[in-house]
Amino acid sequence: MKIVSILVILTALKGLFSQKDNPCLNEDAILDRLQGDTNQIVCFETIDSYDFDFQNKQNIVIHGKLNFPKEKKDFYNAIVLSHGSGGVRRYHEKYVKFLNEQGYVVFQLDHYMGRNIKYDKTFSKVSGITFMNDAYKALALIKTNKKINKVAYIGWSQGGVGPILSHFTNITNFIDGGKNIFDASVAIYPYCGFTFEKNAPINEPLLMITGSSDDLTPEKACINIYKKFNDNIEHISMEGARHGFDNPFLFFGFTFDKLPSLHVINDDCTLTINQNGKIVTLSGQVIDGPEKSAETLNNCSSKGVKVKYNAEATERTRVEIINFLKKVL
């Protein structure tokens, strides 16, 4: 009983510590406009929604780190970064530095702190669409800065869902009627389990970068998207690369026996968005929250994945991202 009590206290303290670190607790910190070209932590309102049905959904405040290149200019292109289910990690910061060095403004979002989430090993506490809704609020905000010209969107793993869905006009129309869209998107080892009608109208160029040996989010589903909707989509497969291949923390590789391998592709496991903005399977099951998401995840996967850093794939990914952005922005 004493052990249980201690665990409860530690859990509560953990929550308090995470809130203490939250830079957005003061209402005065919440911004609705941006100006200038100085680095800053930006707190802003977003909608806390699992899907695109925004009725009866609450607004919350999240934050991101806005970083400008050292070389000052009159105008900049910018990039919004969306982390995966593991939250913001050190390797994301390396991307910030790298992209700044290439002359881009970088807005690194933290989808979790404002929701009091540290790590989502269930992959179901929030959805990739939750991340996407945040990213589009960030897009609208960053466009209030007159120094910002075009804006791209890069996401990893679960955070890569948004860049893929951004490619489709019928999806972005759910968000402010499609008033703001990204100028380009990049998805890195993303979850690709969505599909739409073959003649679905499209938006900005999309680059998908996958690992051929990724058994967490296998590239087969991404290849299916590329083959079905290859207009304005590029796909690059990193030979032998596994999930998380650009994270040096995974240098020696790790096997996780309980993580899902999302390799099942059928009507019960392929998702789309219905006319009401709900996530549904092709067989008609509505995925409207964590419980249904976890159930579908369990039915559409087997357990056990390996993740591993791959220096060659990491370096090539950086090169391919810059080549793509220079071409489309």
pLDDT value of position 121 = 80
pLDDT at 6 over 80: no
Rounded to an integer, the average pLDDT of 142-147 is 97
Q: How confident is the model at residue 19 (pLDDT cuts 50, 70, 90)?
A: low
Rounded to an integer, the average pLDDT of 90-115 is 98
Of the candidates 146, 176, 151, which has an alpha carbon nearest to the alpha carbon of residue 163? 151
What does the alpha-carbon distance between residue 247 and residue 238 come to, in Å, rounded to a whole number? 14
Structure tokens belonging to residue 148: 């910002």
Of the candidates 63, 72, 61, 62, which has an alpha carbon nearest to the alpha carbon of residue 37? 72
pLDDT at 144 over 60: yes
Q: How confident is the model at residue 20 (pLDDT cuts 50, 70, 90)?
A: low
Structure tokens belonging to residue 329: 């922005």
pLDDT value of position 123 = 87
Q: Model confidence over 54-71: pLDDT tens digits?
A: 999 999 999 999 999 999
- Give 124's contacts (C-beta < 8 A, 6+ positions apart): 290, 291, 293, 294, 297
Residue 93 CB neighbours (<10 A): 15
Rounded to an integer, the average pLDDT of 71-98 is 97
Rounded to an integer, the average pLDDT of 248-269 is 95
Distance, CA of 130 to chain centre: 9
pTM for the full model? 0.93
Q: For residue 45, what are the β-bridge partners?
A: 61
Higher pLDDT, 19 or 58: 58
Mean pLDDT, all residues of the chain: 92
| Domains within the chain, CATH numbers bracketed | 31-247+311-328 (3.40.50.1820)
pLDDT value of position 145 = 97
Q: How confident is the model at residue 28 (pLDDT cuts 50, 70, 90)?
A: confident
Burial code (b: 16+ CB inside 10 Å, e: under 16) for 203-214 equals bbbbbbbbbebb
Q: What share of the chain is helix, strand, coil (3-state, %, to 5)?
A: 35, 25, 40
pLDDT value of position 13 = 37
Q: Model confidence over 283-299: pLDDT tens digits?
A: 999 999 999 999 999 99
